[in-house]
Amino acid sequence: MSSIEKAGLYRLGDRTVKRLGYGAMQLAGPGVFGPPKDRAEAVAVLREAVAAGVDHIDTSDFYGPHVTNEIIREALHPYPADLTIVTKVGGKRGADGSWLRADAPDELRAAVEDNLRNLGLDALDVVNMRFMFDPHRPADGPVEAQIEALADLQRQGLIRHIGVSHVTSAQVKAARRIVDVVCVQNHYNLVHRDDDALIDELAAEGIAYVPYFPLGGFSPLQSDTLAAVATRLGVTPMQLALAWLLRRSPNILLIPGTSSRAHLRENLAVAEIDLDPATLRELDAIGKP
């Protein structure tokens, strides 16, 4: 069994994927805007991820914009049959790199078409509807019009499965009254635990929960306890944060982002890390109020 298989498997749409995947956002330039400094390394990261067994890659055409998807296509097309590429729509980039809402039906169709063209696909495996009612946290707001628009594109065969992102529990339920929601992608990690209850709700329903910023994203996780336990176990704090997420719930799929093969190797090795109950309790306490 390869190291990444030890992390286990979980259902994502009509497929089963390995719980250790890869998030491609870091492959674009600084601020997820423009080309990367080292395109060859970006291509190498993707190829090494897939060679190591990764079968779930998260992306969006607004990373770059377009750049990340173009690099994925250059590195991996034609895609392995078992590779699930999950993308997201609902936003666009301003000329200054700002992140703007773009969720009118015609904008969602255009975003799906951009993803299809830049990834070189006839249909997208999973499309997350990324809501932006509040930039900083999931916030109340109606989701029906956007989910109906994606359901329409699904009926037309352009999308195979639908997920939701940056959402509340009530919004997940509202979306599920319209379509089969296969995954939820929200901000969550060892120190940012707002979604504890939602994760458990989704686990009971067999729905994948895919935390974004698993390592803290633009503000890398910092905790004295995390650092101390990592030193004790002989791993890095980032590895330990990922290992904790794998233990947190079986429906959690990891998509840590990195632009370097060295970090990729560290991240894909975390299924090997044993966490005994006392250590888990110690780590759990970090994010408790």
Ligand X SMILES: NC(=O)c1ccc[n+]([C@@H]2O[C@H](COP(=O)([O-])OP(=O)(O)OC[C@H]3O[C@@H](n4cnc5c(N)ncnc54)[C@H](OP(=O)(O)O)[C@@H]3O)[C@@H](O)[C@H]2O)c1
Residues of this chain that interact with ligand X (CB under 6 A) are 23-26, 58, 88, 130, 165-166, 185, 212-217, 220, 236, 238, 255-260, 263, 266-267
Is 63 assigned a catalytic role?
Answer: yes
User: Nearest distance from residue 112's CB to ligand X, in Å?
Assistant: 16
Under 8 Å CB-to-CB from 103, ≥6 apart: which residues? 89, 90, 91, 129, 131, 132, 146
In this complex, which beta carbon is closest to ligand X, that of residue 225 or of residue 260?
Answer: 260
CA atoms within a 13 Å half-sphere pointing along the CA-CB vector of 134: 9
Report the distance separating Cα 138 and Cα 171, nearest Å. Answer: 9
In this complex, which beta carbon is closest to ligand X, that of residue 62 or of residue 281?
Answer: 62
In this complex, which beta carbon is closest to ligand X, that of residue 247 or of residue 265?
Answer: 265
User: Nearest distance from residue 211's CB to ligand X, in Å?
Assistant: 8
Peptide bond into 256 cis (omega under 30): no
Among residues 10, 22, 63, 212, the one annotated as catalytic is: 63
**Which residue's Cβ lies closest to ligand X?**
257
Report the distance separating Cα 45 and Cα 24, nearest Å. Answer: 9
User: Nearest distance from residue 287's CB to ligand X, in Å?
Assistant: 15
Q: Are 170 and 200 in contact (CB under 8 A)?
A: no
Under 8 Å CB-to-CB from 289, ≥6 apart: which residues? none
User: Nearest distance from residue 252's CB to ligand X, in Å?
Assistant: 13
In this complex, which beta carbon is closest to ligand X, that of residue 30 or of residue 80?
Answer: 30
Positions marked catalytic: 63
